[in-house]
C-alpha cells in the first residue's frame, strides 16, 4: 500500500505539485499498524487533481477531500489549506488554499496526526509526533484550548484515538477538554454518534468510557447512565443499554430504532414468557446481555413458549364474540388479552374447547 501511495506522490511531483501522505496512515505506519485508507495533502487544487485523475470523485461539500480509488485502496486527497473562520465551533466557513505543507500541518488536530511521508518514503516529523507516539500520549498542535474551542469534534477525536491506541491525554489536553466540553452541544448528533460508536466498539472501550466519565463528557453528550453501559461487539445492544437523549435516535435505521425500543420495554418488564412472546427472541437476548442473564437460557424459554404469535391461539375473535354475544370493544380486548396471557404462562391449554370453557367460566 505504501508503494502504491508513493507512486501517487511521484505522479503529483511530476506535474510540478507537492504531495505528501499525511494523517492516520503515517501515524499507523509509525505504530506498525495497518491502515485502511490513505490521506494525501497536496498543493494541487481539487480541479487540478480531477484533471490528473478523471476517475476521482469530487467532494460533496465545499473544501472536502477528492476521493480516488486505486487497486481497491481509498485515497482522500486534500489541497493544502489554512482555516480562517469557524462557524458553530465546528465547520470552517472560510478556507484558503495555500502552497505550504507546514501551514497545512498546523491546522491539524494532534501532533501524531501531523506526521507525513514524502515521495521518497521519508517520514517528516515537524511537530514531535514520533515522540508522542513513543510516549503514548496525545498532544494538540499548539494551544489545546484554542484547538478545542475552534472545533469541538476534536474533543471526541482525542478520546477516540486515546481509546483505540490506548494512549493517555496530556494534562494540557485534559484541562482544555474540560474547559471546552460545553461546546459538544453544538456538534451534530450524527458526528457525536459516529465517534461514540468507534469508542464503544473498540476493544479498549472500557478505557474510553472511563475517560468520557472522568472528564464529564457523558453529561454534555446527554448520556445519563454511562456507568451502566454494556460493552460488547453489537452497537445496537450498547445503545440499548444507554439512557440518552432521543436525539441520537434519528441516527438509527427504523428497524434499529424498533429493536432498541423493544429492548427498553423488555428491560422495564423483565424477561419472562410474556416479554418473549411480545418482543421476540432477539430483543430479549439483547436485554439478557444487558442484565447479565445467560443467553442460552433465553433460547430455551423461547423454544418452550406455548405460542409464539397471535395466529397460533386456537380460537378466533369471532368465536369469542359469539360465545359472549359481544361486539369488538373493551370487553373483547380484556378477554382476548387475558386468555393470551394465561396461555403464554401455561395456565390455560391452547385448545379450542379449553379456551371456550375458560371464557364461559370467567366472563359469562
Give the residues lining the site for Mg ion (CB under 5 A). Answer: 23-24, 39
Among 109, 195, 218, 262, the residue binding ligand ATP under the rule CB under 6 A is 109
Cα–Cα distance between 1 and 310 in angstroms, integer?
Answer: 56
Cα–Cα distance between 301 and 346 in angstroms, integer?
Answer: 12
For position 119 contacting ligand ATP by CB under 6 A, the verdict is no
Report which DSSP code applies to 60. Answer: S
Instruction: Identify the residue whose cell numbers are 469534534.
Output: 153
Instruction: Decide whether 24 or 208 has the Cβ nearer to ligand ATP.
Output: 24
For position 193 contacting ligand ATP by CB under 6 A, the verdict is no
Which run of H or of E encompasses 14?
A: helix 2-14
First CA to last CA across the chain, in angstroms?
78
Among 151, 195, 220, 262, the residue binding ligand ATP under the rule CB under 6 A is 151
Options 44-52, 108-116, 131-139, 208-216: segment touching ligand ATP (CB under 6 A)? 108-116
Instruction: Decide whether 108 or 119 has the Cβ nearer to ligand ATP.
Output: 108
Q: Where are the beta strands (DSSP E) in the chain?
A: 19-22, 37-42, 66-70, 73-79, 81-87, 91-97, 116-117, 123-124, 137-138, 168-169
Closest chain position to ligand ATP (CB): 24
3-state secondary structure of 362: helix
Among 12, 21, 24, 89, the residue binding ligand ATP under the rule CB under 6 A is 24
For position 173 contacting ligand ATP by CB under 6 A, the verdict is no
3-state secondary structure of 15: coil
Residue 125 interacts with, from Mg ion, ligand ATP, none (CB under 5-8 Å by kind): none
Helix 153-165 and helix 205-214: axis angle, to 10°?
Answer: 140
Residue 154 interacts with, from Mg ion, ligand ATP, none (CB under 5-8 Å by kind): ligand ATP
Inter-residue contact 66 to 57 (CB < 8 Å): yes
Options 109-117, 170-178, 188-196, 279-287: segment touching ligand ATP (CB under 6 A)? 109-117
Find all residues with CB under 8 Å of 135, minimum gap 6, and list them: none
For the CB of residue 175, give the shortest distance to ligand ATP in the complex, in Å: 19
Instruction: Decide whether 108 or 181 has the Cβ nearer to Mg ion.
Output: 108
Residue 113 interacts with, from ligand ATP, Mg ion, none (CB under 5-8 Å by kind): ligand ATP
Q: Catalog residues that contact ligand ATP under the rule CB under 6 A.
A: 23-24, 39, 108-109, 113-114, 151, 153-154
Amino acid at each position: 500500500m505504501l508503494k502504491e501511495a508513493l507512486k501517487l506522490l511521484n505522479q503529483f511531483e511530476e506535474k510540478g505539485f507537492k504531495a505528501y501522505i499525511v494523517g492516520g496512515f503515517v501515524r499507523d505506519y509509525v505504530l506498525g499498524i495497518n491502515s485502511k485508507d490513505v490521506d494525501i495533502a497536496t498543493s494541487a487544487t481539487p480541479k487540478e487533481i480531477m484533471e490528473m485523475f478523471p476517475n476521482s470523485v469530487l467532494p460533496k461539500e465545499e473544501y472536502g477531500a477528492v476521493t480516488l480509488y486505486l487497486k481497491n485502496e481509498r485515497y482522500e486527497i486534500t489541497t493544502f489549506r489554512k482555516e480562517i473562520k469557524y462557524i458553530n465551533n465546528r465547520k470552517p466557513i472560510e478556507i484558503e488554499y495555500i502552497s505550504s505543507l507546514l501551514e497545512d500541518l498546523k491546522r491539524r488536530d494532534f501532533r501524531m496526526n501531523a506526521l507525513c511521508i514524502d515521495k521518497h518514503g521519508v517520514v517528516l516529523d515537524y511537530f514531535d509526533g514520533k515522540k508522542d507516539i513513543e510516549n503514548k500520549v496525545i498532544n494538540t498542535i499548539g494551544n489545546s484550548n484554542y484547538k478545542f474551542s475552534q472545533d469541538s469534534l476534536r474533543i471526541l477525536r482525542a478520546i477516540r484515538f486515546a481509546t483505540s491506541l490506548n494512549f493517555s491525554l496530556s494534562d494540557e489536553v485534559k484541562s482544555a477538554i474540560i474547559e471546552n466540553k460545553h461546546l459538544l452541544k453544538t456538534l451534530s448528533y450524527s458526528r457525536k454518534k459516529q465517534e461514540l460508536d468507534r469508542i464503544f466498539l473498540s476493544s479498549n472501550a472500557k478505557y474510553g468510557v472511563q475517560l468520557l466519565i472522568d472528564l464529564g463528557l457523558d453529561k454534555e453528550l446527554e448520556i445519563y447512565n454511562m456507568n451502566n453501559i454494556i460493552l460488547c461487539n453489537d452497537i445496537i445492544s450498547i445503545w440499548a443499554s444507554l439512557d440518552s437523549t432521543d436525539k441520537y435516535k434519528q441516527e438509527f435505521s427504523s428497524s434499529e430504532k424498533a429493536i432498541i425500543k423493544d429492548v427498553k420495554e423488555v428491560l422495564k418488564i423483565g424477561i419472562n414468557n410474556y416479554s418473549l412472546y411480545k418482543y421476540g427472541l432477539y430483543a430479549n437476548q439483547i436485554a439478557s446481555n444487558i442484565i447479565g442473564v445467560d443467553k442460552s437460557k433465553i433460547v430455551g424459554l423461547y423454544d418452550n413458549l406455548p405460542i409464539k404469535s397471535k395466529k397460533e391461539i386456537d380460537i378466533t375473535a369471532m368465536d369469542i364474540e359469539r360465545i359472549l354475544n359481544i361486539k369488538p370493544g373493551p370487553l373483547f380486548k380484556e378477554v382476548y388479552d387475558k386468555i393470551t396471557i394465561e396461555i403464554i404462562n401455561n395456565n390455560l391449554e391452547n385448545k379450542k374447547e379449553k379456551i371456550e370453557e375458560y371464557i364461559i367460566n370467567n366472563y359469562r
